Structure 1
């Protein structure tokens, strides 16, 4: 569980699907002059260097953000593009924000951010880049999700984004979502999951679909990052999807289909 480090994968095609949908949902939430709670169960380090040894070793960023920026997937006024531009203004052109910094950029001072990360080095890096203005927790993210819900304020979003290295995640996460939804029925609950050549995710997705028929499930497919790589796509499950997010999902589907 503590071996995963997202620096090897930051800015890949899966990140782009997840972060585009996340940014659009957060932008929707701040349209009303009411405070928002944002909860993230697996935050990572928050900021990544796409020229690092880790990023260049896998080449996933080159196939992801570096490629699609040249293809103009995101207009300048897209909330993800704006977040990336703002982070690069501060940290340099090879920077890429993880979801904590995307959320911090979009949300306001009146909103509350709860960021969880168990890995000690990743937690320390996250603490350094977020500074004040976010509540950080070094503990199990799924346990904290239960402890924090329902949050105050009640309007808000929870992002669940585990590494999926722990096989029990495929059964524990759907159980958690049902429990959180009962406690926080107005919250947007977003889950990212990999689409694997082994199809290990299928029973979980079928269970989520059966238990939450009104949720949005968006999946995209793309070529494996390298020979033998098991991830061939990316999925987002969104409970209580905000208005307009389905249109962004359809737009992304068309873009991914061109790869």
Structure 2
């Protein structure tokens, strides 16, 4: 797990799916004048340079955000964050989910981020230092178990593992069940890859059976390169905000035109 670095994949089609829906949810939550908590179990470094050698090597950003940025109108919160980050950090800067959260949340809101990779954690702390976010050098699920239910109690937890460890698919079902019991009013959002191998299938079947009212949204796209096993992106959201299903349908129609 400590070998994973998201810079190779930042801004890809899966990020666009995940980050646009996350942006919409956070903007929705801040419509109410009540503080909230944002937690993230696998935060990464928060800010990515899409002109870096690692990003250019895979070409995933070129096939992702560079191709799809026009999908989102100027009023969409994802567009607004992208424009702010470009203005502050340059045209090749891309925000990870922690930075997206910091741009959309308010001073009264709390942000807790976990990252276990030492170098990624150091970069995360640097990127997030002006925001007041708490960056934990800790296993993300350990952090979530320790903090849930958080204060403030309103809020959202993003679970976005690398899935490099095969046991993740077995463990996540149990972890989400435990977190939901502890924080039954929280929005719990899980990102997962859609794989040619079908390795994600049993996990999704178990989650769907246990959480029948959750929103499950998936998009498909061509592999990033020959032999690449990921052919789509999914989001599984417990306690989905009102209107998220409609937003997801609009986004799905855009992805369908790529195929």
For the aligned pair, the TM-score class normalised by the smaller chain equals over 0.9
Per-residue CA shift, 1:196-241, capped at 9, x if unaligned? 0000000000000000000000000000000000000000000000
Distance 1:248 1:174 in 2: 25
Per-residue CA shift, 1:18-54, capped at 9, x if unaligned? 0011000000110000001000000000000111100
Distance 1:85 1:123 in 2: 25
RMSD: 0.5
1:153: how far off?
A: 0.4
1:110: how far off?
A: 0.3
Equivalent positions of 1:91-240 (< 5 A) are: 91-132=89-130, 133-240=132-239
Q: Secondary structure at the match of 2:71?
A: coil
Q: Secondary structure at the match of 1:165?
A: coil
Q: Secondary structure at the match of 1:159?
A: strand
Distance 1:51 1:59 in 2: 10
Aligned to 1:4: 4
Aligned to 2:23: 23
Which of these residues, 72, 75, 80, is aligned with residue 74 of structure 1? 72
Distance 2:189 2:134 in 1: 20
TM-score by length of structure 1 reads 0.98
Distance 1:140 1:246 in 2: 31
Give unpaired runs (5+ residues) of structure 2.
none
Per-residue CA shift, 1:74-108, capped at 9, x if unaligned? 00110001001111111000000000000000000
* 2:31 equivalent to 1:35: no
Distance 1:68 1:183 in 2: 37
Q: Secondary structure at the match of 2:212?
A: coil
Distance 1:242 1:68 in 2: 24
Aligned to 2:64: 64
TM-score by length of structure 2 reads 0.98
1:247: how far off?
A: 0.9
Aligned to 1:250: 249
Distance 1:136 1:19 in 2: 20
Q: Secondary structure at the match of 1:110?
A: coil
Distance 2:59 2:247 in 1: 26
Q: Secondary structure at the match of 2:236?
A: strand
Per-residue CA shift, 1:238-257, capped at 9, x if unaligned? 00000111111001110000
